[in-house]
Amino acid sequence: MAPRLQLEKAAWRWVETVKPEEIRQEHINLAYRINLPACKRGTCRRNCKGNPNCLVGIGEQAWLGEIDENAFHNIDDPNSERRDKNTFVGLTNLGATCYVNTFLQVWFHNLELRRSLYQCHNSRAQEHNIESDYEPQSICEHLQYLFALLQNSNRKYIDPSGLVKALGLDTGQQQDAQEFSKLFLSLLEDTLSKQKNTNLQNVIQRQFCGQFSYVTVCNQCGRSSALPSRFYELELNIQGHKNLTECVTEFLKEEKLDGENRYFCESCQSKQNATRRIKLHSLPPTLNLQLMRFVFDRQTGHKKKLNTFISFPEQLDMGPFLEDQKCVYELSAVLIHRGISAYSGHYIAHVKDARTGDWYKFNDEEIEKMEGKKLQLGIEEDIAETVKSQTRKPKCSKGYHCSRNAYMLVYKVQEEESSDISRTNVEVPGEPYEFIPLEWLKKWLDDSTATKEIDNSLFLCSHGKLHPDKVAESKRVSLQAAQLLYERYSGGPRLDGSSLCRECVGQRCRVLRLKNQLNEDYKEVSNLVKRTLSGEGYWVGKASLRSWRQLALDQLEEDEHETKHSNGQTNGQGPHTNNSKEFGPELSEGNEDDMKTFNEDIVCCHESLSILETERKLVSAEVWTKLRAYFPKAPEFTQNQEPCQQCLTLEQEEKDNEAVSKMMALDQKNQLLNLFHEKNRPTLTKWPQGTDVLYIVPLFFVDEWRKFIRRPTKSSPVSNVGNTLLLCPHGGFMFTYDSLINGDAQHIALLWPNEWEVISRLFIVDQPISIHCFKDTPPSGPTTQYTTQPDLCWECRESFLFQQQRDLREYTQATIYIRKVIEDKRMVKDAAPEMNASSSEAEEEKEEHPKVDGERDPDFSQSEDGAKRLKLGDSSTASAATVPVTKPGGIRRSTRHRKLRGEKALIVSANQTLKELKIQIMHAFSVAPFDQNLSIDGKSLTDDSATLGSLGVIPESIICLKADEPIADYAAMDDVYQVRMPEEGFKGTGLLGH
What whole-number distance in Å separates Cα of residue 145 and Cα of residue 128? 13
Query: Which candidate, 847, 693, 662, places its Cα nearest to that of 770?
Result: 693
C-alpha separations of 236 from 71, 137, 210, 917, 957 in Å: 57, 36, 15, 103, 105
What whole-number distance in Å separates Cα of residue 293 and Cα of residue 379? 19
The answer to whether 499 and 466 are in contact (CB under 8 A) is yes
Helices and strands in the chain, H and E counts: 29, 37
Q: How many CB atoms lie within 10 A of CB 947?
A: 17
Q: Which of 346, 401, 576, 747 is catalytic?
A: 346
Q: What is the rounded radius of gyration, in angstroms, for the C-alpha atoms of the chain?
A: 48
DSSP state of 428: -
Q: Is 98 a catalytic residue?
A: yes
What whole-number distance in Å separates Cα of residue 281 and Cα of residue 266? 24
The DSSP annotation for 555-597 comes to HHHHHHHHHS--TT------S----GGG--GGGGGT-GGG--S
Sign of CA dihedral 580, 585, 588, 593: negative
What whole-number distance in Å separates Cα of residue 413 and Cα of residue 312? 16
Query: Which candidate, 692, 695, 682, places its Cα nearest to that of 774?
Result: 692
Q: Where are the alpha helices (DSSP H) in 564-715?
A: 621-630, 645-671, 673-677, 699-710
Alpha carbon dihedral 16, 20, 21, 26, in 10-degree steps, equals: 70
Burial classification of residue 233, based on how many CB atoms lie within 10 Å of its CB (0-12 exposed, 13-18 middle, 19 or more buried): buried
Those residues with Cβ within 8 angstroms of residue 9's Cβ, 6 or more apart along the chain or in another chain: none
Half-sphere exposure of 188 (CA within 13 A, CB side): 26
Those residues with Cβ within 8 angstroms of residue 499's Cβ, 6 or more apart along the chain or in another chain: 435, 465, 466
The answer to whether 145 and 162 are in contact (CB under 8 A) is yes
Query: Which candidate, 210, 202, 252, 214, places its Cα nearest to that of 230?
Result: 210
3-state class (DSSP) for residue 347: strand
The DSSP annotation for 877-892 comes to S-GGGGS--PPTTS--
The answer to whether 173 and 190 are in contact (CB under 8 A) is no
The answer to whether 948 and 986 are in contact (CB under 8 A) is no
Those residues with Cβ within 8 angstroms of residue 832's Cβ, 6 or more apart along the chain or in another chain: 900, 901
Q: Which of 39, 98, 461, 644 is catalytic?
A: 98
CA angle, corner 97, sides to 330 and 387, nearest 5?
A: 75
Query: Which candidate, 270, 552, 243, 223, places its Cα nearest to that of 396?
Result: 243
What whole-number distance in Å separates Cα of residue 151 and Cα of residue 117? 13
What whole-number distance in Å separates Cα of residue 860 and Cα of residue 867? 10
Task: Phi first, then psi: give them for residue 818, nearest 5 degrees.
Answer: -105, 120
DSSP state of 777: -
Q: Is 604 a catalytic residue?
A: no
Query: Which candidate, 781, 525, 731, places its Cα nearest to that of 628?
Result: 525
Residue 510: which H helix or E strand, with range? helix 502-528
Residues recognised as catalytic: 98, 346
